[in-house]
Structure 1
Amino acid sequence: MNDRVLPVRPAAGGWQSAACRGVDMTTFFPAPGDLATVRRALMICDECPVRIPCRRYALDNRERYGIWGGLTEETRETLIRIGPPPGVSSGSVG
Structure 2
Amino acid sequence: MWVEDWTPRAACKSATPDQLFVRGAEQNKAKQLCSGCPVRTECLAEALDNQIEWGVWGGMTERERRALLRRRPTSSWRSVLETAREQQVVSPVSQTAS
Equivalent of residue 62 in structure 1, options 45, 48, 51: 51
| Alignment match, 2:12 | 20
After superposition, the CA RMSD in angstroms is: 2.0
Aligned length, in residue pairs:
77
**After alignment, is 56-65 or 19-28 more displaced?**
19-28
Percentage identity across aligned positions?
A: 36
Q: Which runs of 4+ in 1 moved over 6 A?
A: none
Equivalent of residue 38 in structure 1, options 7, 27, 30: 27
Structure showing greater Rg: 2
Q: Which has the higher contact order (CA 8 A, sep 6+)?
A: 2
Matched to 1:27, the amino acid is Q
| Alignment match, 1:71 | 60
TM-score scaled to structure 2, two decimals? 0.70
